[in-house]
């Protein structure tokens, strides 16, 4: 018998634009990432499941190092962290930005060099600071005046710790009001106009065990334009110039944070990394020359821009409900594994994988399994009109702020994470089981 092979299908150029570069459609209805069919991942590991393309993560790390060869690039661990991720980032030459003792200890016990780690947080606990000092973290970013005395006391008169100060640059940027952090009247950083930043810096200079290495700012998240970063550089250099005039202080570092936007759906804008590097570099050189300052070493903190496009979430369809003019497609996950649509109104572009449909596209809303009307995975999206229970849906750009923000709602358990690379799939984080949940419940 002669076997007839269906020719490989070339997807439209924009259809996979928000997927990892390795995404391919070898046959109609089949989608592979890292050389692994997504349907096979779902069969082997169950759903919901997160899939992360190791090569995509590594390539994005390299892209940042190439775009900013003179800068220190720190991966923002809050986007997604596990031992494998820490290992990949370290191997690609990036540092790490952590926000808690938990993130810090996981990274260091994996072998991440602590001197390449920066600790953030607007309300660091005693455990956070103690762990940072015990493990020898590279720098601690001071976010409030009360941290100065606490940190100095913890370091001790004979100790030494490098610190930075988080400053509010007064620049509004970000994809949603809840993730804009560069303006006044929010919980992060110290203000320049009211003098809090300058006062905190003066107090740090009075603590010989604390070495102030630079200023830090973070404008927000999902920023797609270069102008906010250029404006932030201008204001931060302005503060550096005043500090030089007042204290003779020359700071060697300037941290612009992260917040680099990605596209979640085809056609959406993403931050142009080349344009960002060019704009920031030019503004920093020009502003420092005008102020008579030595150009500080730049630090940037991408998180979502590295992890987000490398991840995919897989779900099975449990039910399809047509009511009035609306069609709801319910899947076996939802806001417990991705609260971002409910929090920020994020919109995704799910795709049917595992079978080829010839049905016309229909407008549907993909919803989760949880007891909330706001449990929506993807609102008003196109899927084949014959979508049915048992089908497999893949959601791209799901590598950041999914597992890291996952919850225990309805006790369904958090999904596993599977890495794919060069045709192989391997488990990085196992599924949270009912036994895991029971073992934490000690109150009977």
Is 401 marked as a binding-site residue?
yes
Q: Is the pLDDT of residue 10 over 60?
A: no
pLDDT of residue 252: 97
**Residue 20: Cβ-neighbour burial (10 angstroms; 0-12, 13-18, 19+):** buried
Q: Under CATH, to which class is 54-308 assigned? A: alpha beta
Whether the model clears a pTM of 0.75, i.e. scores above it, the answer is: yes
Check the annotation: does 304 bind a ligand.
yes
Positions annotated as catalytic residues are 371
Judged against a pLDDT cut of 90, whether residue 133 lies above it is answered with yes
Q: What is the mean pLDDT of residues 383-391?
A: 97
Tell the residue number behind the tokens 């005039």, with chain if given: 245
Question: Is 301 a known ligand-binding residue?
Answer: yes
309 is in an annotated binding site: no
Per-residue pLDDT at 188: 58
**Confidence check: pLDDT of 15 > 80:** no
Q: Evaluate if residue 392 carries a pLDDT over 90.
A: yes
Question: Would you say 302 is a known binding-site residue?
Answer: yes
Q: What is the pLDDT of residues 184-237, one digit of tens each?
A: 565 556 877 787 888 899 999 999 999 999 999 998 888 999 999 999 999 999
Q: Which residues of 38-56 are buried (b: 16+ CB within 10 A; e: fewer)?
A: bbebbeebebbbbbbbbbb
Domain boundaries, the chain: 32-52+309-440, 54-308
- 15 compared with 167, residue with greater pLDDT: 167
Rounded distance between C-alpha atoms, residue 350 and residue 383, angstroms: 8
Q: Where are the alpha helices (DSSP H) in 136-247?
A: 146-155, 196-205, 227-247
Beta-bridge partners for 317: 331
Residues 239 and 245: their CA atoms lie apart, in Å, by: 10
pLDDT in tens, 69-83: 999 999 999 999 999
Secondary structure element (H or E) that encloses residue 74, with its range: strand 72-76
The answer to whether the CB of 329 falls within 8 A of the CB of 367 is: yes
Architecture of domain 32-52+309-440: Beta Barrel (2.40)
Is residue 372 annotated as involved in ligand binding? Answer: yes
Helix 146-155 vs helix 126-135: crossing angle, to nearest 10? 40
Residue-wise pLDDT tens digits, 316-346: 999 999 988 899 999 999 999 999 998 888 8
Determine the pLDDT at residue 183.
46
- In the predicted structure, residue 3 carries a pLDDT above the cut 90: no
- Pair of tokens at residue 376: 């929506």
Q: What confidence tens digit (pLDDT) does each residue in 252-275 have? A: 999 999 999 999 999 999 999 999
Q: What is the mean pLDDT of residues 351-358?
A: 96
């Amino acid at each position: 018998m002669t076997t007839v092979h269906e020719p490989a299908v070339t997807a439209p150029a924009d259809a996979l634009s928000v997927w990892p570069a390795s995404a391919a459609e070898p046959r109609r209805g089949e989608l592979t990432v890292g050389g692994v069919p997504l349907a096979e991942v779902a069969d082997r590991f169950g759903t919901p499941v997160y899939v992360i393309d190791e090569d995509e993560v590594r390539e994005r790390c390299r892209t940042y190092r190439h775009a900013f060869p003179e800068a220190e690039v720190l991966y923002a661990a809050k986007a997604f962290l596990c031992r494998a991720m820490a290992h990949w980032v370290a191997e690609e030459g990036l540092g790490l930005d952590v926000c808690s003792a938990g993130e810090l200890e996981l990274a260091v016990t994996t072998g991440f060099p602590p001197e390449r780690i920066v600790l953030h947080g607007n309300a660091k606990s005693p455990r956070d600071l103690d762990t940072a000092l015990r493990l020898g973290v590279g720098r601690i970013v001071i976010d409030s005046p009360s941290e100065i005395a606490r940190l100095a006391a913890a370091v001790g008169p004979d100790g030494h710790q490098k610190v930075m100060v988080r400053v509010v640059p007064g620049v509004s940027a970000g994809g949603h009001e809840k993730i804009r952090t560069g303006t006044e009247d929010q919980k992060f950083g110290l203000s320049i106009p009211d003098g809090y930043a300058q006062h905190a810096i003066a107090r740090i200079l009075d603590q010989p065990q604390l070495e102030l290495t630079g200023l830090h700012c973070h404008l927000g998240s999902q920023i797609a334009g270069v102008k906010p970063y250029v404006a932030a550089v201008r204001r931060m250099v302005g503060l550096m110039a005043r500090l030089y005039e007042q204290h003779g202080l020359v700071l060697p570092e300037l941290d612009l944070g992260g917040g680099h936007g990605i596209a979640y759906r085809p056609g959406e804008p993403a931050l142009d990394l080349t344009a960002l590097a060019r704009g920031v570099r030019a503004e920093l050189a020009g502003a420092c020359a005008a102020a008579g300052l030595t150009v500080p070493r730049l630090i940037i903190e991408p998180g979502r821009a590295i992890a987000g496009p490398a991840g995919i979430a897989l779900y099975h369809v449990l039910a399809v409900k047509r009511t009035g003019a609306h069609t709801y497609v319910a899947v076996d996950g939802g806001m417990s594994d991705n609260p971002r649509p409910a929090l920020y109104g994020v919109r995704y572009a799910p795709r049917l994988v595992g079978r080829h449909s010839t049905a016309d596209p229909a407008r549907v809303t993909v919803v989760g399994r949880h007891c909330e009307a706001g449990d929506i995975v993807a609102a008003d999206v196109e899927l084949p009109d014959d979508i049915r229970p048992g089908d497999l849906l893949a959601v791209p750009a799901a590598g950041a702020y999914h597992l890291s923000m996952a919850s225990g709602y309805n006790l369904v358990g958090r999904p596993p994470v599977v890495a794919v690379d060069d045709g192989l799939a391997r488990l990085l984080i196992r599924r949270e089981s009912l036994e895991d949940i029971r073992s934490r419940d000690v109150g009977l």
